[in-house]
Amino acid sequence: MSIEFLNLRRVNEPLLDEIQQAVARVVNSGWYVLGAETAAFEEEFARYCGVRHCIGVGNGLDALHLALRARGIGPGDEVIVPSNTFIATWLAVSQAGARVVPVEPNERTCNLVPDRVEAAITPRTRAIIPVHLYGQPAEMESINAIARRHGLFVLEDAAQAHGARYNGSRTGSLGDAAAFSFYPGKNLGGMGDGGAIVTNDDDLATTIRKLRNYGSTVKYRHELVAVNSRLDEIQAAILRVKLRALDSENARRSGVAAAYAKALAGIPLQLPVVAPGAEPVWHLYVVRTQQRDALQAHLRKNGIETLVHYPIACHKQQAYAGTDWPALPIAEKLQGEILSLPMAPYLTSEEIQTVAASISKHFS
Ligand SMILES: *Cc1c(COP(=O)(O)O)cnc(C)c1O
């Protein structure tokens, strides 16, 4: 049996008829950008997250970047980000012209440590971007308390955590604003690029609506030097179908995670740790071992595809060479020890057992 890391055809298979009808509806409508589908998706996704506003944009990176810009964050400002995130979190800060201030995660949850966030605050700090990495919400209660004490903007990077909950509330409603990605491989993924910002802040939402559309709300009147970054009608129509299936797909992912945890118990492998108050949505199932490369090679030989999220920490990337970064030993240790097992709503118990048996064999 060969097991792919993720097969999007299999993810979307149960919804293909509905998706094809949604796409046909847009094709036949003759209206392809900023129309009824995008407006409907924005309303539905805002309601899903439990917030007032959703603004669809071109991708998750733009969602992060436009939220920072709308808040007036730019040159001379510092933004706190995790040292172990996907590079988009860092790029958004750099694109805004602000300075990236990396903070190390808790090794077991892989999410930001609030005390370390507070220690990194300077008079120039303007914002914190907690990332709900691998689908698990960050420790938002403590992070929000710190932000309130210091007057900072909290922007959730929720690109991996659609539908996750923290103390009963959904990601997207946990900070001042949140950025989502609808890249095809995400828990809520389209069939192309897409993203959104959600927020309860009316002014921020109004500014982002302008920023995504040439600084304009009235056609051919331009108030800001802005960008073109819009969620298109076809993606919005597909995402409306997929949003209706999100909770049941996330429940299946939880079932897969529970089955992995049961089958892998007793093996000398660090399994994912769920923090108090967190209800993750298992975007990824990430295990840890010092024998990571050997384990990955063994699984590959047995037809099981795994990935590493991420193999090179952001401060070690060529894009960020030439800056005198502080020591970031946890990010560097994690990059050598983490391994993402196949994770998708469709995985069968037979496939899960096959992966677990192969891992077990490696350690026996
Ligand atoms: C995917 C992702 C992004 C960026 O989303 P794109 O739509 O690919 O631009 C940002 N942050 C995190 C944590 C991600 O996983």
User: How many Å apart are CA 42 and CA 31, to the nearest integer?
Assistant: 17
* Mean per-residue pLDDT, 99-117: 98
Q: Does residue 185 carry a pLDDT above 90?
A: yes
User: How many Å apart are CA 353 and CA 307, to the nearest integer?
Assistant: 19
pLDDT in tens, 17-27: 999 999 999 99
Query: Which is the closest atom of ligand 1 to the Cα of 131?
Result: 13
In sequence order, the 6+-apart residues with CB closer than 8 A to the CB of 8 are 184, 185, 189
Instruction: Pick from 89, 91, 181 the residue to mutate for probing ligand 1's pocket: most ligand atoms within 8 Å of its CB.
Output: 181
pLDDT in tens, 136-184: 999 999 999 999 999 999 999 999 999 999 999 999 999 999 999 999 9
Sign of the alpha-carbon dihedral angle for 294, 131, 58, 241: positive
Query: What dihedral do alpha carbons 297, 299, 304, 309 form, nearest 10°?
Result: -60
- Bond prior to 310 in cis (omega within 30° of 0): yes
Neighbours of 327 (CB within 10 A): 9
Atom 12 (ligand 1) nearest CA:
159
Q: Does residue 1 carry a pLDDT above 80?
A: no
User: How many Å apart are CA 81 and CA 211, to the nearest integer?
Assistant: 23
pLDDT in tens, 20-55: 999 999 999 999 999 999 999 999 999 999 999 999
pTM higher than 0.95, yes or no?
yes
Could you tell me the distance, in angstroms and rounded to a whole number, from the CA of residue 13 to the centre of ligand 1? Answer: 24
Q: Does residue 107 carry a pLDDT above 80?
A: yes
Atom 6 (ligand 1) nearest CA:
60
Percent of the chain with pLDDT over 70: 100
Pocket of ligand 1 (CB under 6 A): 59-61, 85-86, 88-89, 131, 157, 159-160, 181, 183, 193, 195
Query: Which is the closest atom of ligand 1 to the Cα of 85?
Result: 13
Burial of 322 (0-12, 13-18, 19+ CB in 10 A): exposed
* Mean per-residue pLDDT, 295-304: 98
User: What is the reported pLDDT for 324?
Assistant: 93
CA 308 → CA 113, 260, 295, distances in Å? 22, 18, 12
pLDDT in tens, 331-357: 999 999 999 999 999 999 999 999 999
Take residue 330 and report the two structure tokens written for it: 């946890």
pLDDT in tens, 74-93: 999 999 999 999 999 999 99
Take residue 206 and report the two structure tokens written for it: 């109004």
- 346, 11 contact by CB (below 8 A): yes
Mutual angle of helices 60-70 and 202-211, in 10-degree steps: 120
* Mean per-residue pLDDT, 290-319: 98
Length of the chain: 364
Q: Does residue 68 carry a pLDDT above 90?
A: yes
The pairing of beta strand 125-128 with beta strand 153-157: parallel
Residue 212 gets the label, from left (phi > 0), alpha (psi -120 to 50) or beta, of alpha
Could you tell me the distance, in angstroms and rounded to a whole number, from the CA of residue 85 to the centre of ligand 1? Answer: 9
Least confident of 156-160, 193-197, 205-209, 217-221: 217-221
User: How many Å apart are CA 217 and CA 221, to the nearest integer?
Assistant: 7
Partner residues linked to 278 by β-bridges: 166
